[in-house]
Structure 1
Amino acid sequence: MPNDQYQYESIGVIRTPFESPEGMPIQPAGADTVEGTVEVRESYADGLQDLSGFSHCILLYHFHAAADTASLQVEPFLDNEKRGVFATRAPQRPNQIGLSVVEIASITSPEVTVRGIDVVDETPLLDIKPFVPDFDVPADVDTGWLNASKSTIKSKQADERFL
């Protein structure tokens, strides 16, 4: 059986205007004009080489402001019914790993300025990956229970379910 315990080191920090989860957009679609800065540790700055050729990137991070208690059934932001946590983007997860696809505004190593950021200030950064539509956007997609319109997603903000 493979090792079931892993340890990661933050490669940097995400800086945003959101001091707490309260009132924060719940997805990048609701934060399209919000700018933030991804501050990569100097020891990882060389990894930013060639990222400037991409318009967007995927940020993987640790939900440091979410409660440490994971639940396998959660009430997601866009629904009033309990759903399986793996069918949601809720932060209360067995491994509190989040992801956001953001627009790259500029890169001045070791910092990346991004738009569409939906995380709390000082969120620990785990990884950055380029967003590649041919890899990351399947042709035929079903969204399960989620039938929210784009305007609904843009208007939703974090509430006590995020804490």
Structure 2
Amino acid sequence: MKEFTVYPIGSIEGKEGAQFIQLAPGYAPALAGLEGFGHIDVLWWFDRCDTPAARALRIAGRPYTHGPAVMGVFATRSPQRPNPIALSVAQVLRIDQEAGRIWIAYSDAEPGTPVLDLKPYTPSIDRVGEPQVPGWCSHWPQAMERAGEFDWESEFNF
């Protein structure tokens, strides 16, 4: 297989309890037309989990409290995976195109985490009206708007 190089376009940062995506110099013009979207898909790099051992993991032992005893990493949201790429949907609070900054409501990424790409969240492409999930996670919230009230700490073993 062909190898390729990925370059960060910015990073996730925090300031006084708020989070934002700070674009690298030269990427601010790419924000044109993003205003008006309420959410964005953020592709970011689990840089603090990027080790040879984490990349070699193929089987995860009980990553979820209610899940099966053994799962393949592609059935998990674990940061330990062949390519430590994360995908998060973030609510857009404000865009400052001049500063190359997008203020977001929340991300589980740490400050300084590299951002690989951004895409506008569009319901016609990104939302599944009747998603199918295994029984062990069927009690999870059905929408991100309710996820903030859910006890996620009791669900994850990673």
* TM-score normalised by length of structure 1: 0.77
* Alignment root-mean-square deviation, CA: 2.4
Which of 40, 62, 77 pairs up with 1:89? 77
In the alignment, which residue of structure 2 is the partner of 1:101? Answer: 89
Alpha-carbon offset, residue 155 of structure 1? 2.1
**Distance in 2 between the 1:85 and 1:108 partners?**
37
Q: Deviations over 1:70-96 (max 9, x none)?
A: 311113245452211111111101000
In the alignment, which residue of structure 2 is the partner of 1:29? Answer: none
Is 1:142 matched up with 2:125? no
Q: Deviations over 1:81-133 (max 9, x none)?
A: 22111111111010000010010000112000001211111100000000001
* TM-score normalised by length of structure 2: 0.79
Q: Deviations over 1:51-79 (max 9, x none)?
A: 11100000001001125223111132454
Q: Secondary structure of 2:27's match?
A: helix
**Distance in 1 between the 2:152 and 2:106 partners?**
14
**Distance in 2 between the 1:159 and 1:89 partners?**
10
**More divergent stretch after superposition (151-160 vs 37-46):** 151-160
Which of 2, 12, 15 pairs up with 1:14? 12
In the alignment, which residue of structure 2 is the partner of 1:42? Answer: 25
Q: Deviations over 1:124-147 (max 9, x none)?
A: 000000000111112331012422
Pairing 1:46-125 to 2, within 5 Å after superposition:
46-68=29-51, 69-70=54-55, 71-74=57-60, 75-79=62-66, 81-109=69-97, 110-125=100-115
Structure having the higher Rg? 2
Give the gaps of 5 or more residues in structure 2. none
Q: Percent of aligned pairs with the same residue?
A: 27
**Distance in 2 between the 1:99 and 1:38 partners?**
14
The higher-RCO structure (CA 8 Å, 6+ apart) is 1
CA 1:84–1:159 in structure 2 vs 1: closer, same or farther (change >3 Å)? closer
